[in-house]
Chain A
Amino acid sequence: MSNLLAALGSSASALDVLQQALGVVQNNVSNASTPGYASQQLNIGSAPFDIVSGAAGGLLANGLQSSRDTYADTSVQLQLQTLGLYTAQSQSTGTIQSFFDPSGTSGVAGALNDLLTAFSGWSASPSDATARQQVISSATALADSVQGLSQSLNGAAVQLNQQVSSTVDQINALGAQIQHYNVERLKQNQPDPGADANLENNLENLSQLVNLTTLTQPDGTITVLVGGGSPLVIGDQFNSLSASDFVGAQPPPANPEAPPTAHVLDASGKDITENVTGGQLGGLLDSRNRVLSSIIGDGQQAGSLNVFAKTLADTVNGILESGTVSTQAGAAAGAALFAYDDSDGTLAAGSLAVNSAISPDQLAAADSSGNSNGNANALAALGNSNAVNGVIGGENLVGYFAGIASAAGQENQTAQSNQSLQQQVVSQVTATRDQISGVSLDGQAADVLQLQRGYQAVSQVLSIVNNLVDSILALVPQQA
């Protein structure tokens, strides 16, 4: 009777173990496409089996084994941080680049060329009213174009600042979910594969947003440090980041009216912007605070577009104001063609306009030496390769502006190229990780077939053993 009960108990426990095993296999298959899921395996062992002692044998579940590989997961996270950086750089520099005409035939470059052409026409007919009017019309078009470009770029700066803010919100949302994982993990003795999958998925999403470091604590919780060491999640504590736009106060800004740059602050209010070098947030900050600031300026620099606008206006005005409207004795001095707000280095491009008080007859074609078209010639020569006026860093005005447009295009091209290469790297490390910890449906099916063949072999041998036992039993003499 005891043997029968033991056998029944053994069957029941074996059934339970096999049900668990089936559950694990089914769960693996169900979650084959679940982001972050690592396949699980139920370790099955045998229970003691001895007729004499009454141990009826059976199966024992020896715990779940996860195929998760921390090194592979970390590799994926690191590469995702770089991909996020390049992706954000590619998108944001693409927007910046779109404001420049790569052919140079329209926009600021085209308008500058038209103005130089108008100066040239005026130099051929310095007294011609139509030529003078053409100069003013072309100058107006150029000023409008520079202003428009400045407004577009400043609008892009505002958008990038907003994107930085929304990205910080996303980071905080993910940080809160990881904190929740930690809280739940502290209540459990064993890791939960489903919660682990969510955690890994959240860490990968977070990696795309910001450079981070993760540490698994002995109690199973995850510590997440962002931006080179600022704690986002420690145990059950969550320290939110915040975004803020301002003109840096240290060192004292040379351009206090500059468009505010984007900053990221940790929970204590410390500015960690410089340490955010990865993920989409790193890419957005780089595009906003480095690429865009180099064009529209910030607290410490005027920006190349403002330098261009200021140099253009100062050079043209300087030439015109140094001459006279004609060569006649007592002729009036020339008037300034351009006007701009010079109260702050970053306001030049956005305020560039044609002097509202100027009329065509106030343009001074004659230079101070009495040449009737000396000034007009000097202005027409601003676009020459050997120009002596309006030179910035060895480049004339045309070349300097082309350099701004070219730099914006180069930034975008580099970011696109980096993004493309990094996408391949991410694909490779993800594939490697999935080989280690992912669910292979083919593999699951192969395992089942292999086991089935093994069971068939056992069945055949057992059949032979049974026949032999029956045969031997028949030979045993009956005792009286």
Chain B
Amino acid sequence: MTAIEDPIKLLHNARNLLAGAAACWNAGDPAAIDRCVAALDQSASELRAAEAVAIVDPKSLTGFGSEILQIRDQVAGIERLLDLASAFLRGGGWSSGDSPLYRVDGLEDTDSSLRPTAMAATRIQA
């Protein structure tokens, strides 16, 4: 059994890891997504350890409620990015499926595979 860690330090670590996850976020890069998942995993470990300490000694968290709420906001921020990215993958309702960008010679989009109706049906619950 290792020495009981400082829950406040654990919460700081978790918060820093969440910030790192947000910083490496790149919706179009699978490798960046993997790095983001790893950072979130590590953050969850820190929070789990903080929870274990707090269960034994709840007073150790006295006065740190606002910091925990900031962590919650941080998580909400990443969720927001995830929602938007998921909507991108689904070809969300904000897209008409007709890009104004770089269409060569005014060619019509004859491929409907990326249109909203044909996009993956899986809805990611973030």
Contact = CB atoms under 8 A, between A and B. Distances in A.
A49 B19 CA distance: 7
Interface of A: 3, 7, 10-11, 14-15, 17-27, 29-32, 34, 37, 40-46, 48-52, 56-59, 192-194, 197-198, 441, 444-445, 447-452, 454-459, 461-462, 464-466, 468-473, 475-477, 479
Interface in B29-73: 29-30, 33-34, 36-37, 40-41, 43-44, 47-48, 50-51, 54-55, 58-59, 61-65, 68-73
Contacts of B82: 455, 458-459, 462
A440 to B, nearest CB: 13
Given A455-B124, A459-B82, 17 more contacts: A10-B77, A10-B80, A15-B84, A46-B22, A46-B23, A49-B19, A49-B74, A59-B25, A447-B30, A448-B89, A451-B85, A455-B86, A465-B18, A469-B47, A472-B47, A479-B63, A479-B65
B107 interface: yes
Contacts of B1: none
B53 to A, nearest CB: 10
Contacts, number: 220
5 contacts: A23-B102, A31-B107, A49-B74, A194-B105, A447-B30
B31 to A, nearest CB: 9
Contacts of B79: 462
A445 B113 contact: yes
Majority SS of interface residues in chain B? helix
B99 to A, nearest CB: 3
B85 A7 contact: no
Interface residues of B, number: 77
B2 interface: no
A455 B94 CA distance: 19
A452 B126 contact: no
Contacts of A56: 77
B47 A468 contact: yes
